[in-house]
Amino acid sequence: MSVKRSKHTAKLKGKIAIEALKGDKTISEIASKNNLHPTQVTRWKTQLSKGFETIFDKGDKKTRRAIENREADLFEEIGRLKFELDWLKKKLLSSTDHLRYLIEHDNEDISVRRQCELIGISRSGLYYLPTPETEENLAIMKMIDKQ
């Protein structure tokens, strides 16, 4: 059987937090009086003490709504850009040889490390140069092929 979580109003939280800030009673006394856990009272007290600067701000609802809309637009753009980047990575040729040519070593705005992350190759893959087979190995391979 699940226990339904209590929902407290902002007014009650503020009242309890102010009582805790006064210091007349201990946190445990306040918590037991209001049927709460002492950690919850402490959390509300901390929230009140950290956020008291904004209580008397004259920020109206229009300003807050504009900020929230701007945040929503930015999060939407971040999501779209991430989706487009993932799509682009899928469409790029997967051969590391082809991807190496896309890296701009002299770009001052984006580091080589970040460029490799964006394209989807490791930096060691960027700098890797394959070594040719030695003459001895080639001779042995020819002998095996003859057999």
The yes-or-no verdict on residue 141 having pLDDT over 90 is yes
* Element housing 18 (H / E): helix 10-22
Average pLDDT estimate for 68-72: 91
The yes-or-no verdict on residue 74 having pLDDT over 70 is yes
CB atoms within 10 A of CB 92: 13
Residue 18 lies in a domain: yes
Same-domain status, 83 and 49: no
Residue 58 lies in a domain: no
Same-domain status, 49 and 83: no
Residue 59 lies in a domain: no
Domain count, the chain: 2
Question: What does the angle CA 118 – CA 122 – CA 128 come to, to the nearest 5 degrees?
Answer: 130
Same-domain status, 87 and 144: yes
Token pair, residue 117, equals 């992350």
The yes-or-no verdict on residue 67 having pLDDT over 90 is no
> pLDDT by residue (tens digit) across 100-140?
888 888 888 888 898 888 888 888 888 888 788 899 999 99
Average pLDDT of every residue of the chain = 84
Same-domain status, 45 and 87: no
Domain that holds residue 87: 79-147
Same-domain status, 48 and 84: no
Token pair, residue 144, equals 């095996």
Same-domain status, 101 and 138: yes
Of 16 and 88, the one with more pLDDT: 16
Residue 60 lies in a domain: no
Enumerate helices (H) and strands (E) in the chain, giving the number of each: 8, 0
Given a contact cutoff of 8 angstroms between Cβ atoms, the answer to whether 16 and 24 are in contact is no
Residue 45 lies in a domain: yes
Same-domain status, 39 and 93: no
Given a contact cutoff of 8 angstroms between Cβ atoms, the answer to whether 51 and 72 are in contact is no
